[in-house]
Amino acid sequence: MTLKNNWRILLGGLLVIVGIASFLDSLNIIPFGGLLWGVLFAFAGVAFIVYLFQNRNAWWAIIPGVVLIGLGFLILISSVFPNFQDEIGGSIFFVSISIAFLIVYLMNNKFWWAIIPAGVMASLAATILVDGFTKFEGGGVLLMGIALTFALLTILPGLDGNRQWPLIPAGILFVVSIFAFFEDFNVSSLVWAVILIVFGVFLVVRSFVKKSQP
């Protein structure tokens, strides 16, 4: 059986399932509701994956494919479990986007740029969980995650030329994330006070050292 026939079987099967579900839902025999949309999104995602197998040059198909599958899974879970946490749902959606870009990179490491959206989306997923399930703000987690993402570019294969430039945004974001963590722990004012004291003592000591020198 060829891939072309597989594509037709997949599309035909999707239409049959959607048609049967719509028929049963319209007669109130089985109120599918969100289940129908979840299956529809998931199958649409699978269709993009199948198209990728037919045409390996269509690497972009992995992005809508994985994202639609993740979205369909999220809709199905929310339909089966109405009390499903919004924070978990948002994290699942961002993780699916992250996985999509990660697969793009794994398919061809020349697409090193895909690491950046993959890391950003994963950081957003972690941020949502921190905001939703802890007393801390997730800003520090987001900035730290993006900093680590840029740092990974220096060691992962694929980036040509100067491999040190990602350390610049990584370092800046890392420093800012540290202060964000300090803010979460309500010690930012203490940290700044210590910095001012240390710098002031340094200036005073240095002035005395210069005066004592002949």
What does the pLDDT look like over 141-190, one tens digit per residue? 898 999 999 999 988 888 887 788 898 999 888 888 877 777 665 555 55
The count of residues in the chain is: 214
Pick the last residue of a domain from 48, 63, 84: 84
Check: pTM over 0.75? Answer yes or no: no
Name the more confident of 23 and 194: 23
Domain around 19: 1-84
- Closest of 104, 41, 125, 50 to residue 75, by C-alpha: 41
Whether residue 149 sits in one domain with residue 105 = yes
pLDDT at position 192 over 70:
no
Alpha helix positions (H), the chain: 3-26, 34-54, 62-80, 86-107, 115-133, 139-153, 167-184, 188-212
Span 50-102, pLDDT tens digits = 888 888 788 898 999 999 999 888 888 887 777 766 768 888 899 999 999 99
Indicate whether 58 and 113 sit together in one domain: no
> 213 to each of 133, 143, 199, 202, 207, how far by Cα in Å?
59, 46, 21, 17, 10
Tell whether the torsion through CA atoms of 124, 127, 129 and 132 is positive or negative. Answer: negative
**138 and 163 within one domain:** yes
* Residue at 148 is within a domain: yes
Does residue 49 sit in the same domain as residue 132? no
Indicate the pLDDT class of residue 44, thresholds 50, 70 and 90. confident
Calpha distance 188→181 (Å, rounded): 8
My answer on whether 182 and 139 are in the same domain is: yes
On whether residue 125 sits in a domain, the answer given is yes
- Assigned domain for 197 exists: no
DSSP sequence for 105-124? HHH-TT-GGGHHHHHHHHHH
Predicted confidence band of residue 46 (pLDDT cuts 50, 70, 90): confident
Residue 26 domain-assigned (yes or no) = yes
Better-scored residue on pLDDT, 81 or 123:
123
> Quick one: pLDDT at residue 141?
87
Distances (CA, A) of 89 to 77, 122, 124, 127, 188: 9, 13, 12, 13, 32
In this structure, what token pair is assigned to residue 52?
A: 């990728």
Number of domains in the chain: 2
- Burial degree of 163 (CB within 10 A; 0-12, 13-18, 19+): middle
Residue 214 counted as domain residue: no
The per-residue pLDDT for range 20-33, each reduced to its tens digit, is: 766 766 666 555 56
pLDDT of amino acid 149: 94
132 band by pLDDT with thresholds 50, 70 and 90: confident
| 104 pLDDT above the threshold of 70 | yes
User: What Å distances lie between residue 109 and 118, 160, 180, CA to CA?
Assistant: 13, 11, 33
Name the DSSP letter for residue 103: H
**Domain's final residue, options 59, 84, 109:** 84
End position of a domain, from candidates 84, 107, 128:
84
Q: Give the per-residue pLDDT at 124.
A: 92
Burial track 96-118 (b if 16+ CB lie within 10 A, e otherwise): bbbbbbbbbbeeeeeebebbbbb
